[in-house]
Chains A and B, each alone.
Chain A
Amino acid sequence: MQPRIIEVRQNILKQNDLLARELRSRYVDAGVYVVNLVSGPGTGKTELLEATLTALHGSHRVAALTGDLATDNDARRLARSGAPVRQISTGTVCHLDASMVQGALGDWDLGALDFLFVENVGNLVCPASYDLGEQLRVVLLAVTEGEDKPLKYPTIFNTADLAIITKIDLADAVGFDRETAYFNIREVRPGLPILETSARTGQGITEWVSYLEGIADERRSPAVSSPIRQSPVHDSL
């Protein structure tokens, strides 16, 4: 028997990507704007998200999903904002994927929401590859993490639509080099918009909320996602 080659041309993560596309359509139909927050562990995603939910909760209908390997600590913290929150416990899995998000959404009426935030597992490696169907992917970087993080993890920065530098109130204390950080972020993702926040002092929160409100109004339509999250190979699905 002769060996032969048969072309397959399928995305290895096609299962996730097909589901992510379905979710994306569902979000658009429901009119909910979905944000995926990614960062390393300890960057301040939960703190920032709590401040965000608190700021938006009065004027908008918001909800959140939060992913961790274990504990529901983050869900409890986020629930203090008054918004509906659900915890996704991944067990051993280092990222959220579309099926986990779909499962967690369950019986929520997405049409009754303006914003849905998904706080990913704290990890700069794994979440990069998994589309959750979001409209906006935000990568967070704390001033305490060092300016060269983007160079060490170019993929996840490259998939982002916005970067937020967190814990900005500590910038002086740690000798944060803003110029180098901005330069490095834009070396791996040219043109990426960057905001700065301190969830602790409230600095930058108003600007972040305004950014969200503006972009949600503008983009409640079929997704314009980053080039990597819609890579050319997808037409082989």
Chain B
Amino acid sequence: MARMLRQVQTRAVVVLPRSDRESGIAVHMGACTTERFMHELSIAMSLVDVASEEAERRGVIVDAVHIRLGPLSGVVKEALNFSFDVAAAGSAIEGARLIIEDVPLTARCEQCDAERIIASPQHLRCPVCNTPTPEIVRGGELELFALEIRENAATHH
């Protein structure tokens, strides 16, 4: 699906071609790109692609994008929120709100024979018996869960 080169007025944005795509966006905050921000911007662009494709396929207008995000997805919520509007500008879902549902990190404790919610990915241990818990059940999600939509007047029968 072709994407248009786009300018965003709110920040100093340099639009550069991506290595293997028609267009992309690199954001320079002052003199340097922050690693964290670039990662979430990349993810936000993928999210916009997936959501836009779905919206166009169904012929609907998207008011909000609901995603589920786990602590082991490698994506930071605040940075993703920040990147989303930039990524959505000029797309089929421009103006949509981003709604993020946090998925708790859940691991299976062999010792307890039970699933446990783990407070932090820095300590994968059962909160009850302290045994290491390598078996992650939930928490890696980076999922477009749902779209909040309105029918597009032109396609509504």
Cβ–Cβ contact B134 & A189, under 8 A:
yes
CA distance A236 to B145 in the complex (A): 10
Q: Given the complex of chains A and B, what is the CA–CA distance between A151 and B60 in angstroms?
A: 43
Please judge, given known A-B contacts A126-B39, A187-B124, A227-B135, whether A156 and B20 are in contact too, CB under 8 Å. Answer: no
Interface string of A134-166 (1 = CB under 8 A from B): 000000000000000001001110100000000
Residues of A within 8 A of B54 (CB): 8, 10
Complex Cα gap A211–B134 (Å) = 22
Taking CB atoms, residues of chain B closer than 8 Å to A8 are 50-51, 54, 144-147
- Other-chain residue from B19, B74, B124 in contact with A90 (beta carbon distance below 8 A): B19
Indicate whether B42 reaches chain A with its CB closer than 8 angstroms. yes
Assuming the contacts A10-B144, A100-B20, asked whether A126 and B137 have C-beta atoms less than 8 A apart, the reply is no
Q: Does B102 make an interface contact (CB < 8 A)?
A: no
Query: Restricting to A182-237, which residues have a CB under 8 Å from any CB of B?
Result: 186-191, 227-228, 231-233, 236
Q: Are B133 and A190 in contact (CB under 8 A)?
A: yes
Chain A residues lying within 8 Å of B26, measured Cβ to Cβ, are 92
Is A12 an interface residue, CB under 8 A from the partner? yes
Chain B residues whose CB sits within 8 angstroms of the CB of A123 once the complex forms: 35
Check A103 for interface membership: any CB of B closer than 8 A.
yes
Q: Is residue A174 contacting chain B, with contact meaning CB distance below 8 A?
A: no
Is the CB–CB distance between B145 and A3 below 8 Å?
no
Contact residues, A10-38 vs B (CB, 8 A): 10-16
**A89-114 to B contact mask, C-beta < 8 Å, 1/0:** 11111110001100100000000000
Q: Is B112 an interface residue (CB 8 A)?
A: no
Give complex CA distance A210, B144 in Å.
42
Q: Cβ of A14: which chain B residues have Cβ within 8 Å of it?
A: 50
What are the residues of chain A within 8 A of B6 when measuring CB–CB? Answer: none
Q: Does B77 contact A (CB under 8 A)?
A: no
- A-chain residues with CB within 8 Å of residue B140 when the two chains form the complex: 227-228, 231-233
B133 partner residues in chain A, CB cutoff 8 A: 190
**Which one, B35, B73, B74, B137, contacts A232 given CB within 8 A?**
B137
A to B CB contacts below 8 Å, 7 in the list = A6-B146, A9-B146, A92-B24, A123-B35, A227-B134, A227-B140, A228-B140
4 nearest A-B pairs in the assembled complex, by CB-CB distance? A190-B132, A231-B140, A154-B121, A190-B134
Q: List A residues at the B interface (Cβ < 8 Å).
A: 1-16, 89-95, 99-100, 103, 123, 125-126, 128-129, 151, 154-156, 158, 186-191, 227-228, 231-233, 236
- Which B residues have a C-beta under 8 Å from some C-beta of A? 16-20, 24, 26, 33, 35-36, 38-39, 42-43, 46-47, 49-51, 54, 58, 60, 63, 66-68, 70, 72-75, 121-125, 132-138, 140-151, 153, 156
Q: A8-B147, A90-B19 are in contact. List 4 more A-B contacts (CB 8 A).
A: A92-B33, A187-B124, A188-B122, A227-B136
